[in-house]
Each structure stands twice: as structure tokens, then as C-alpha cells.
Amino acid sequence: MGNQTKIAEQNGSAAKASTAMARDVGEFADDALTLAELQGQLLVADVRECGRKILVPGLVLLYGAALGLACFPVALVALALLVVQVFATSYAAGFLIVALGAAILSALMCVSTWRQIQSGASVLGRSQQELIRNLRWIKKVLQRSRITRGNSIDNSWRTVT
């Protein structure tokens, strides 16, 4: 052990490497925070636009569902009585025909406005795509940083025998 010599020189300068690494980490953190802020702003803008696009179809959907549930009982009963009288059917057949007609009308209203709501909500895909791109960029920077650090490992703590 007495014949072991410690090497005073370092592979590169530890002070320079740690300063560079701190600067790189600081720049990366700044970039990541900027991306997070921009991502939040994009989400807010997309939610506002989505709200504007689905407000009216949402209300129509609500009214269509109300029609399907309530079916305007008085008008439907009157229509059923008219069917019974005009077509000389039983009361059961007349009421069933009118109920089926109202249910079909309600379903058509709900399906058509649901499609409008889905197309209005598709704007949120912009935020999702941007988030995915940002996360991929962060992963790429971290991988590049890991590779760079792996190639310049500081072995100054080792002793030569």
C-alpha cells in the first residue's frame, strides 16, 4: 500500500464540469417550465373554444333528452287519440304508435347533436398532441444529457496502483 501513488490530475476539471452541468440543468428546467406554461395556456384556449362550440349543441341535446323523457304528454295523448279515431284502431295501438314516433324523433335529435358536440370537442386534441410533442422533446433532451454525461464520467476519485 505504501507503493501506491495517488494521481493529483483529474480527467477534465471537476469545477468546470459541475458548473456546466448546473447551467445545463438550469436551462433545461427553464425550458421545461416555459413549455408547461405554454401547455397550460393552450389548454385554457382550447377549453374556451370547446365551450363556445358545444354550448348550443349541448343545449339542444338537453332539450332532446327532455323530449325523450317527458314526450310532451298532453300532445302525445292527443295524437294517440287522433290515431285511434282516424284509423279505427284500439287505444293500445294508437298510444303505442305515437310513443314509438316520439322515441324515434328524440333519438334522431340526440344522435345528431351528439355528433356536433363530438366535433366541437375535437379541438382538445390540439392540446393533447402538443403535450405529447413536449414530453417527447423532454425525453430526448434527458437521453442526450445522459449519454453526454456517460461519456465524460469523472474518475478523479480512483487511485492508480
**Residues 86-104: tens digit of each pLDDT:** 999 999 999 999 999 989 9
Q: How many CB atoms lie within 10 A of CB 80?
A: 22
Residues 34-50 have a mean pLDDT of 88
Torsion-angle region of 72 (φ positive above 0: left; ψ -120 to 50: alpha; else: beta): left
**Does residue 19 lie in a domain region?**
yes
**Does residue 118 lie in a domain region?**
yes
pLDDT for 72 equals: 78
| 106 φ, ψ (degrees, to nearest 5) | -60, -45
Are 131 and 39 a contacting pair, CB within 8 Å?
A: yes
Global pTM value: 0.40
Specify the number of domains making up the chain. 1
Q: Look at the alpha carbons of 39, 46, 58, 108 in this order and tell me if their dihedral is positive or negative.
A: negative
**What mean pLDDT value characterizes the chain?**
79
**Does residue 83 lie in a domain region?**
yes
For 115-144, what is each residue's pLDDT tens digit? 888 877 777 777 788 888 888 888 887 777
Residue with cell 386534441: 125
Which range, 13-22, 59-68, 116-125, 148-157, has the best average confidence (pLDDT)? 59-68
**Does residue 161 lie in a domain region?**
no
Residue with cell 324523433: 105
H-helix or E-strand spanning residue 103: helix 91-121
Q: How many CB atoms lie within 10 A of CB 102?
A: 19
Residue 44's domain comprises 14-151
**Does residue 18 lie in a domain region?**
yes
**Does residue 2 lie in a domain region?**
no
Output 67 or 84, whichever has higher pLDDT: 84
**Does residue 158 lie in a domain region?**
no
**Banded model confidence at residue 31, pLDDT cuts 50, 70, 90:** confident
**Does residue 57 lie in a domain region?**
yes
| 152 φ, ψ (degrees, to nearest 5) | -120, 55
